[in-house]
A and B are shown apart, each in its own frame.
Chain A
Amino acid sequence: MAAISFSGVKKRYQKNDVIHGVDVEIEAGEFVVILGPSGCGKSTLLRMIAGLEEISEGTIAIDGTVVNALEPRERGCAMVFQNYALYPHMSVRQNIGYALKVAGMPKGEREAKVLKVAKSVSLDPYLDRKPGELSGGQRQRVAMARAMVREPKVFLFDEPFSNLDAKLRVAMRAEVRNLHRSLGVTSVFVTHDQTEAMTLADRLIVMNSGFVEQVGKPSEVYHHPASLFVADFIGSPAMNLVRGFFGEDGYFRHGKGGMIGLPGLAKAHLSREVSIGFRPELVRRVDAGHKGAIAAVVDYTEELGASRLVYARADGSPIIAVDGGNDPLATGMPVHFALSESDIHVFDHSNGRRVDHDGRPVRATTSVSA
């Protein structure tokens, strides 16, 4: 087990900065998922831990030792790659044992270790096959076994499940989770799949175009997104975001003359342009006569089985609501929604950061919480 700490880590290609100063502490034994859209620098960050990319500025320390100048093999990390990266000419046994062979471990000891690890991921019947003769899931297991056999201080996963079908992905997710529970090795997992991220992570690092947007537990990130980007990125369907401003009269003004009465929030957010955000599942459908109801017009609906998504428009601002009802809703029909003030997030439009209801801006990195 090892803790990893980033301080002021930057990555620069020629003159382009791809990562703009990351300061994060990962605790020993933690499972951390780095989440972000493609091109946000999440894989680069992972590869900098592994030693496959140079660190342009700042330091990365594993277990208190700064590893900037260390070779990949000296860092005690094992990595699982997106395309498995198995050696095609070696059998499963040789693939798993290669690192030990390079390290000069005697044959008998090596074989015993390989067998033990192979058993733990139920690969023992396939030890003499070549990777080409295995299914996708089995190859993935070989890749994991190859990482495990070295008994590393840190596991690194670079979008390992993106080539698997949906069902296998869920199964492998559970396997990785179990693996982490039984070995307790510090793990860093990179993905762009938020379901994967939410289910696996002890803590999430949400990244966007080279910046860390938020660090926190999955529930924290979901319920208290620290920025507009996080609010928009996490959750499916995405959070409703309505741009506008609060007036002294307690009304939030948006779109083409739309007004939403939010007297409890208005005072703290006067005099700045903001977006308010609220989860579709927290939008309630109410009768027309409900106090403070927002009137909207249905665009279309999507049937999900247990519920349906109502895509509507209130004075030009789109609103999505999860609705449990089954009355017919056709395009153009009027609907009414209600919101609780406590379910509403406010983001400052000048910098995209969250503003708490007492008017204080929120920092990207929440203090270490384990």
Chain B
Amino acid sequence: MIERSPIFNIVTYAAMTLGLLVVLVPFWIVVVAGSQSLQEVSRVPIVLWPSSHLWENIQAAWLRADLGPKMINSFIVAIGVTAGKIILASISAFAIVFFDFKARMVCFWLIFITLMLPLEVRIVPTYAIAANALLPFQFVLDTLGITGLVQAVTSVRIGLEWNLLNSYTGLILPLVATATGTFLYRQFFMTIPDELIEASKMDGASPVRFFFDVLLPLSRTNMLALATIMFVSSWNQYLWPLLITTDRANYGTVVMQLKALIPTQNGTPDWNVTMAGALIIMLPPLLVVALMQRWFVRGLITRDK
């Protein structure tokens, strides 16, 4: 719809400004509160103008929540999840789009259905698997009677165990499977003309070669868009890290530490430190989005030639 009249323009701009305000006000409050002293932040009504204590508050928050090592943990997890998702999504989409096997549509729909099963829904079984990643294999061995057989013959009982609790693997692996990513890649791969595949066949390239030499370079913008979304979402993970890490000192992530920054019921109500902490914690995803936004938009909307 293209319409140009002064009144219509004013209305549009007003709507946009309102939307922007709604989005920005919480940020503003975080910045303002994070820069005030304890007295200033406790004043009623609150003053919505920044003060000069931002640096002190940041330092206080950094020390109190032990953000240094936690930042490193968060980066390891977020980057690990992002990389894992991209690798898995591109490979599974490659299989679904370019190989003509019988179960191809079944596989695609199975992957697609998992969109309806976010982590929160399957949290209990996922936790059970994380507690012992070899549990399914144990189950198979038990039901097939192999365990009993081996025990009878050698009197050794097979007990498979691989504990993922309190480990980076445990933090990363259960989050790696991604229907969204696979779907995004599938849509992109389906726009690749057949002739390109045939040309690479004539040039003697194997499917793997075609994947690395042609598909991956062509899907670069896609990959960056996906990386942006996935980085932000895995940085913001709260429930799963909380569940799987009991050893918070070594494996805690920054988002978990937000909890540690919230004043306790009878403690000092130093919300200024909490807000300064929140500011630090949301900075990395903010930077990633700011740096990647050009690619992000391009990857989702247009196909660059």
Contact = CB atoms under 8 A, between A and B. Distances in A.
Interface of A: 50-52, 71-73, 77-79, 81-83, 85-89, 98-99, 102-103, 132, 146, 150
A88 B218 contact: yes
Interface stretch (B15-23, B145-153, B198-206): B198-206
A99 B203 contact: yes
B199 A102 contact: no
Contact of A89 (B199, B200, B217): B217
- Chain A contact residues: over half helix, strand or loop, or mixed? loop
B188 to A, nearest CB: 13
B305 A88 contact: yes
Contacts of B294: none
A81 B204 contact: no
Given A99-B203, A102-B203, A85 B198 contact: yes
A84 to B, nearest CB: 8
Interface string B200-234: 11111100010001100110000000000000000
A77 B202 CA distance: 7
Given A85-B193, A88-B305, A72 B217 contact: no
Chain B interface extent, by class: 10 to 19
Contacts of A103: 204
B209 A83 contact: no
18 contacts: A52-B198, A52-B201, A73-B201, A73-B203, A77-B202, A79-B199, A81-B198, A83-B193, A83-B195, A85-B193, A85-B196, A85-B198, A89-B214, A99-B202, A99-B203, A102-B203, A102-B209, A103-B204
Interface in B152-199: 193, 195-196, 198-199
Contact of B202 (A79, A87, A89): A79
B196 A102 contact: no
A82 B195 contact: yes
A83 B192 CA distance: 13
Contacts of A86: 199
Contact of A87 (B196, B198, B201, B209): B196
B195 A99 contact: no
A79 B203 CA distance: 9
B214 A87 contact: yes
Q: Identify which of A71, A82, A99 gathers the most chain B CB atoms within 10 Å of its CB.
A: A99
A87 B201 CA distance: 13
Contact of B218 (A52, A89, A132): A89
A31 B200 CA distance: 25
A85 B203 contact: no
> 9 nearest interchain CB pairs?
A73-B204, A85-B195, A99-B203, A85-B199, A89-B217, A72-B201, A102-B204, A81-B195, A79-B202
B198 A132 contact: no
Contacts of B218: 88-89
Contacts of A73: 201-204
A99 B193 CA distance: 19
Nearest to B203: A99
Contacts of A99: 202-204
B187 to A, nearest CB: 18
A287 to B, nearest CB: 58
B204 A50 contact: no
A85 B214 CA distance: 12
Interface string B120-159: 0000000000000000000000000000000000000000
B196 to A, nearest CB: 5
Nearest to B305: A132
B1 to A, nearest CB: 32
B195 to A, nearest CB: 4
A50 B200 CA distance: 12
Given A98-B213, A132-B305, A81 B199 contact: yes
Given A52-B202, A83-B193, A88-B305, 7 more contacts: A71-B201, A78-B202, A83-B195, A85-B196, A87-B200, A99-B202, A132-B305
Nearest to A81: B195
